[in-house]
Chain A
Amino acid sequence: MLLFTRRPGRRLAWTAAAVASVAALSLSACSGSDTAGANGASGSAITVFNGATGTITENFNPFSPTALQPTLGVIFESLYWYNLASESEPTPMLATGHEWNEDGTELTITTREGVKWNDGEPFSAADVAFTFNLVNETPELNTTGLAATAEATDENTVVLSFTEQSFMQEPEILGNRGIVPEHIWKDVADPVTEVNSNPVGTGAFKVKSFSAQSYALEKNADYWEEGKPAIDEVRYISLETADAASAALTAGQVDWMSAFLPGLEQLLKDQEDLAYVNTPALTTSIYTCSNAELGCEGPQTDVAVRQAIYHAIDRTQLNKLAGGGFAGEGSPTLLLPERDAKWIVDPEHKVAPQTADTATANKILDDAGWTLGADGIRVKDGQKLALTIQTVTGWSDYISLNDAMRQQLKEVGIDLTPTQLSWNEWNANQTGGTFQLSLDSIGLYASPNPYYPYNQRYHSDNTTPVGESAISGNFARYSNPVVDAAVRAAGSTNDEAEQLAQYAIVQEQIVNDLPYIPIYINSTLTEFNTSRAEGWPTNDDKYAFAASWKAWDNGIILKTITPVTQ
C-alpha cells in the first residue's frame, strides 16, 4: 500500500478536498436553517410529538395494533367519541343515533348523512356493516371479542346482531373502532398485514407525505363538519428521549407533546408561548398478589396488611415528592372522584385519606396479630412483615414513590424493599403472579363506566393461578364470588340505576379487600405552544383528553384548534 508516498499533485488534491468540505459545511450551515414548524408559504402548520421514538415504519391500517397513532381519530373516525377527561355524553361522529333492543342482542345504529371519504366517494351504512363483518370474520383483527354480524338495512341504518346479550360491548363498538371504506377494503388481499399507504378515511386530515423520520398530514377539504379543520398541515416527528422533547419544546419547535417534566412550572415560567394542561386519568396503585389460594406468597395475602398500607401512606407527601404536585386525589373504588362522581356510591369511599393515619394502621395490624418486634418490624407466627415492591428501571417518579413509601411504612412496622427491574421482567412477574407488590397504574378504558376496570381487574374469570399468565388483567389474583356476581349482573343490563346498585356491592367489597391499593391519580401533562395555534384544551376547559398519544381525542383536538392570526 503506497501510504504517504509523495506523488505530484497529491498535496493539491488533499488541499482541494479540505477546502471543498469546509465550503460544503459552511454552505449547508447557511441553507439548512432550522425553521421548524414555521408558517409555510401556503398555510398554517403545526408539529406534534406523540411519543414516537426511533425509526417510523409506515402503517395506516386502523385494524393493526401497531398502526401509526394518528390513524385512529385523525384519519379514520369511529361512530361516537367518548370523552374520558370529563363527564359527558358520547359525542356523535359518524353515527347520529343508536338503540338496543330489550335483550341486548341487537344494536341499531343510524349513520350520519352527507359524509364523504377523502377520495370523493360517499359514505354510507354499508361501509359500517362491512367494517364490523370484516372484524367478525377475521380472528386476527378481532381484538374486542366481537361476536356479531352486521347488516345495512338502508342507506343510513346498520343493525348489529349479537349471539348473546352484549350491552357492555357498546363503547368498544361505538367508540373504539375506525370505519373503513368498503369500496377499497373489499379488494384488499390481506387486511392483517395491509400497510394502507394512502389511507382513505373520513377524518379531518389525510396523509400528505411519509418518510422513516417524519410524516405529514394535510387538511381534508371534503370533511363533513363545515369549516373544519382550520389547520392546513400537521407534521409528526420522532424524538428519542424526554430531554430531547423538552429541549425541542423550549426551542419552539414542537406545538403539542405529552411528557412528564417534573419542573414544568419552572420551565414555563418565562415562556409566554408555552402552556400546559393536566388531565389525570390513571390511578397509580400498588398491585398486590393477594390470594393465597391461587398461590400467592407473602404477608400481603393478609387483608389486614393491605388495609394497614392503605392507611399508613402519606399521599400528600408522595404527591410532592414524586408527583410533582400535579397528581389528583385517588379513590379506593379505583375510579376518578371528579369525573366518575356519579358512580361512587358511598361518599365515604370517594377519596382516599390524604395524610398518614398511623393510629388506624397500627390498630389494624395489632388486631390481626402482627406484633412489633425488637427491630421495629412486625412479626406474626415467625413471619416478618417484610415485603418487596417492584417497579421499572427508569420510571423515576415511581422509584421516588417506592423510596418515600419505604420510610412511611417503617413507622407502622412494615419493612418495604423496593426493587427495580427491566420492563420485560417486571411485566412477566406481574402477569405470572410472581411478585408481592408492584407499582403500576389502572385506568383508560373505552368509556368511564366502572364495568370495565371492575371486570378486568377484579373478576375471577380474568385471573389464573400463580405461574400462569393472567394477561386478561386480574394480576392480583383476586377471586370473590360476590364481586363476580355483581359485575356480571351489571354487565347484563343497560339501565344505569341498576348498574349503580351492583357497583355498590362491588365497591363495598373492594374497599375492604384492597387487592389494588390506590395512591393517587397520576397526572398526564401535555404541553402546548400557543404561538402558532390556539384553542387547545386548558385546565379550566378539558374538552378532550389532551395527551398527544391518545387515539380518537387527537382527532377532536386537531379539528378544534385554529391558527393564530398574526
Chain B
Amino acid sequence: MRYVLQKLGFYVAALWAALTLNFLIPRWMPGDPVDIMISKLATRGPVTPSTRHAIELLLGTDSQQPLWQQYIAYLGQIFSGNLGTSVVYFPTPVAKVISQTLPWTIGLIGIATIISFLVGIGLGTLAGWKRGSWLDNVIPVTTMLQSVPYFWLALILLFAFGSVWQVFPLNGGYDVYTTSIGLSWPFISSVLYYGTLPALTIVISSIGGWMLGMRNMMVSTLSEDYILTAEAKGLKPGRIMRTYAARNAVLPSIAGFAISLGFVVAGSIVTEAVFSYPGIGSALLQAVNSNDYALMQGIFLVITLSVLGANLLVDLLYTIIDPRTRARA
C-alpha cells in the first residue's frame, strides 16, 4: 500500500511539473496570435487596418495580464475541465476540437501499436525458440524497414496501394460520401477499410524493434536452469516456450510497450499528413503554426496525461505480472 502511495505521489509531482512547462513553453515562442491570424487572413482576401482591433477584441487576448495571474487562472481552468477557446478554430472550444479528433488517433495508432506489439512479440518468441531457422532472416528485414524514414515508407506504400494498384483508398478516415458517423456496420466497415493501410505502415515500420528485443530476451532466458528442469520433467515444448520462456522474456518489452502507448497521441502527425487521416496530430500542427496557446496546451495536456497514465499503469501492472517485485512491497 505504501508502495502504491509513494508511486502516486511521485506521479502527482511529475504532473505538476508537466503542467507548468505546458503553460510556459508556448509563451516563449515568437509571434503574437492576433498578428498571425491577420497575416493569414491577408493571404486570402482584403484586410483593412481596423481588422487588428476587431480581432483583438474577438479573441480577448488579455496578454496584458501578468504571467503569474495567467498561470493561476490556467491551473484553475484545467481542474474545472475548461480548456479554453481555440484561436485557429475560433469559436470552437478546445475540448470540442480534441474530442472530435482524439478518438481517431487513439483508434488508429493505438490499435496499430497493439497489433505491432503482439505480432512482434509472437514472431520474436518463435525466432528465439527456433534459433538458426529461417525466422532469423526475417529480423534484418524488419529492422531495415524500421530504420527507413517512416514518411518515405508510408508515401511509397500509399502510392503503390492507393494510386497504382488502387487496393486501398487514398485519403480520409472513412467514406464521407456513403456513410456518416454512427454505430452502424457501414460506418465501422468503412473505418476499418480506410484504416488498414495507415495501420499497416505503422506495423511494418515498428515491428522490428519488438521482434529483435523479444528474440534476444528469449535466447538469454532459454539458457536458464528452470527451462532445463521443465524439459527434463517432460513438459511439451510448446508449453515450455509459452508458459516458461516467453512469460519471463516479455517483461522488459512490456515496459517499452507502456512507453510507446503513452506516445500514441503525439506520434501521429506524419501518419496523418501522409494519409490525410482526421486525427489530433494535424490539429497540433495547426495550433503550433498559429500560436494558438489554448489548443496547444490542451493537446500537450492530453499527451502528458496519457504518457504519465501509461507509465503509472505499467508500474502498477509490473507488480502484478512479476511476483518477484511483490516480495518487497
Chain-B contact segment, one of A54-62, A178-186, A373-381, A406-414: A54-62
Q: A55-B283, A239-B171 are in contact. Are A65 and B193 (CB under 8 A)?
A: no
Contact of A462 among B49, B53, B86, B173 (CB under 8 A): B49
> Which residues of A247-293 are within 8 A (CB) of B?
247-248, 250-251, 253
Contact call A36/B177, Cβ cutoff below 8 A: yes
Contacts of B41 in A (CB 8 A): 65
Contact of B91 among A5, A176, A195, A444 (CB under 8 A): A195
**Chain B nearest CB, measured from A508 CB (Å):** 25
Whether A27 is near chain B, meaning CB under 8 Å from some CB there, is yes
Contacts of B52 in A (CB 8 A): 471-472
Contact of A235 among B177, B189, B283 (CB under 8 A): B177
Contact of A144 among B30, B50, B194, B285 (CB under 8 A): B50
Contacts of A25 in B (CB 8 A): 192-193, 196
Whether B156 is near chain A, meaning CB under 8 Å from some CB there, is no
Chain-A contact segment, one of B63-71, B140-148, B215-223, B270-278: B270-278
Contact call A214/B30, Cβ cutoff below 8 A: no
CA distance A4 to B248 in the complex (A): 11
Whether B82 is near chain A, meaning CB under 8 Å from some CB there, is no
**Chain B nearest CB, measured from A370 CB (Å):** 34
Contact of B54 among A34, A36, A140, A445 (CB under 8 A): A140
Whether A141 is near chain B, meaning CB under 8 Å from some CB there, is yes
Whether B152 is near chain A, meaning CB under 8 Å from some CB there, is no
* A-contact bits for B232-244, CB 8 A (1 contact / 0 none): 0000000100110
CA distance A140 to B51 in the complex (A): 9
Contacts of A565 in B (CB 8 A): none
Contacts of B46 in A (CB 8 A): 171-172, 176, 444-446, 452
Contact call B90/A54, Cβ cutoff below 8 A: no
Nearest-neighbor residue (CB-CB) of B170 within chain A = A247
Contact of A139 among B54, B88, B167 (CB under 8 A): B54
Most A-side CB within 10 Å, residue of B175, B180, B193: B193
Contact call B101/A212, Cβ cutoff below 8 A: yes
Nearest-neighbor residue (CB-CB) of A27 within chain B = B189
Contacts of B276 in A (CB 8 A): 238-241, 244
* B-contact bits for A412-428, CB 8 A (1 contact / 0 none): 00000000001111011
Contacts of A36 in B (CB 8 A): 177
Contact call B170/A53, Cβ cutoff below 8 A: no
Contacts of B290 in A (CB 8 A): 424
Contact call A424/B286, Cβ cutoff below 8 A: no
Nearest-neighbor residue (CB-CB) of A430 within chain B = B39
Q: A53-B282, A239-B276, A469-B32 are in contact. Are A3 and B250 (CB under 8 A)?
A: yes
Contact call A28/B189, Cβ cutoff below 8 A: yes
Whether A550 is near chain B, meaning CB under 8 Å from some CB there, is yes
Nearest-neighbor residue (CB-CB) of A461 within chain B = B49
**Chain A nearest CB, measured from B128 CB (Å):** 14
Contact call B35/A428, Cβ cutoff below 8 A: yes
Whether B57 is near chain A, meaning CB under 8 Å from some CB there, is yes
Contact call B31/A213, Cβ cutoff below 8 A: no
CA distance A145 to B52 in the complex (A): 10
Whether A209 is near chain B, meaning CB under 8 Å from some CB there, is yes
Contact call B89/A57, Cβ cutoff below 8 A: yes
**Chain B nearest CB, measured from A96 CB (Å):** 24
Most A-side CB within 10 Å, residue of B90, B155, B172, B177: B177
CA distance A178 to B114 in the complex (A): 50
Contacts of A566 in B (CB 8 A): none
Contact of A212 among B37, B57, B278 (CB under 8 A): B278
**Chain B nearest CB, measured from A127 CB (Å):** 22
Contacts of B246 in A (CB 8 A): 3-4
* A-contact bits for B288-320, CB 8 A (1 contact / 0 none): 011100000000000000000000000001001
Whether A163 is near chain B, meaning CB under 8 Å from some CB there, is no
Contact call A251/B170, Cβ cutoff below 8 A: yes
Whether B325 is near chain A, meaning CB under 8 Å from some CB there, is no
Whether A192 is near chain B, meaning CB under 8 Å from some CB there, is yes
Contact call A65/B91, Cβ cutoff below 8 A: no
Contact of A29 among B55, B186, B193, B283 (CB under 8 A): B193
Contacts of A145 in B (CB 8 A): 48-50
Whether B78 is near chain A, meaning CB under 8 Å from some CB there, is no
Contacts of A3 in B (CB 8 A): 242, 246-247, 250, 321
Contact call A472/B58, Cβ cutoff below 8 A: no
Contact call B189/A37, Cβ cutoff below 8 A: no
Contact call B30/A428, Cβ cutoff below 8 A: yes
* A-contact bits for B2-41, CB 8 A (1 contact / 0 none): 0000000000000000000000000001111011111101
Contact call A64/B90, Cβ cutoff below 8 A: yes
CA distance A422 to B169 in the complex (A): 32
Contact call B189/A32, Cβ cutoff below 8 A: yes
CA distance A431 to B30 in the complex (A): 12
**Chain A contact residue count (CB 8 A cutoff):** 79
CA distance A29 to B284 in the complex (A): 31
Whether A24 is near chain B, meaning CB under 8 Å from some CB there, is yes
Whether A193 is near chain B, meaning CB under 8 Å from some CB there, is yes
Contact call B320/A550, Cβ cutoff below 8 A: no
Whether A143 is near chain B, meaning CB under 8 Å from some CB there, is yes
Tell me the interface secondary structure of chain A in the complex.
loop
> Which residues of A1-49 are within 8 A (CB) of B?
1, 3-6, 24-25, 27-29, 31-32, 34-38
Contact call A172/B31, Cβ cutoff below 8 A: no
* A-contact bits for B88-125, CB 8 A (1 contact / 0 none): 11111000110011000000000000000000000000
Whether A500 is near chain B, meaning CB under 8 Å from some CB there, is no
Contact call B45/A28, Cβ cutoff below 8 A: no
* B-contact bits for A108-146, CB 8 A (1 contact / 0 none): 000000000000000000000000000000011111110
**Chain B nearest CB, measured from A324 CB (Å):** 19
CA distance A6 to B37 in the complex (A): 61
Q: A57-B89, A57-B96 are in contact. Are A34 and B169 (CB under 8 A)?
A: yes
> Which residues of A381-395 are within 8 A (CB) of B?
none
Contacts of A244 in B (CB 8 A): 170-171, 274-276
Whether A207 is near chain B, meaning CB under 8 Å from some CB there, is no
Contact of A54 among B158, B283, B291 (CB under 8 A): B283
Whether B163 is near chain A, meaning CB under 8 Å from some CB there, is yes
Contacts of A34 in B (CB 8 A): 169-170, 175
Contact call B35/A471, Cβ cutoff below 8 A: yes
Contacts of B159 in A (CB 8 A): 247
Whether A551 is near chain B, meaning CB under 8 Å from some CB there, is yes
Whether B174 is near chain A, meaning CB under 8 Å from some CB there, is yes
Contacts of A53 in B (CB 8 A): 282, 286
CA distance A549 to B178 in the complex (A): 25
Contact call B189/A247, Cβ cutoff below 8 A: no
Contact call B91/A64, Cβ cutoff below 8 A: yes
Whether B190 is near chain A, meaning CB under 8 Å from some CB there, is yes
CA distance A3 to B30 in the complex (A): 51
Contacts of A54 in B (CB 8 A): 101, 272, 278, 282-283, 285-286
> Which residues of B250-274 are within 8 A (CB) of A?
250, 272-274
Q: Which residues of B come within 8 Å of A, CB atoms?
A: 29-32, 34-39, 41-55, 57-58, 86, 88-92, 96-97, 100-101, 155, 158-159, 162-163, 166-167, 169-178, 180-181, 186, 189-190, 192-194, 196, 239, 242-243, 246-247, 250, 272-276, 278, 282-283, 285-286, 289-291, 317, 320-321
A-B pairs, 8 with minimum CB distance: A145-B50, A28-B189, A54-B282, A4-B242, A424-B31, A214-B176, A193-B91, A32-B193
8 contacts between A and B (CB under 8 A): A5-B243, A29-B193, A54-B278, A55-B97, A55-B278, A66-B90, A192-B58, A241-B274
Q: Which residues of A come within 8 Å of B, CB atoms?
A: 1, 3-6, 24-25, 27-29, 31-32, 34-38, 53-55, 57-59, 64-66, 139-145, 171-172, 176, 192-195, 209, 211-214, 235, 237-241, 243-244, 247-248, 250-251, 253, 422-425, 427-428, 431, 444-446, 452, 456, 461-462, 469, 471-473, 549-551
A1-B320, A213-B278, A550-B45 are known contacts; what are 15 more A-B pairs with Cβ within 8 Å?
A28-B190, A34-B170, A34-B175, A64-B90, A64-B91, A66-B91, A193-B91, A194-B91, A209-B180, A211-B180, A244-B170, A247-B158, A424-B291, A471-B35, A471-B39
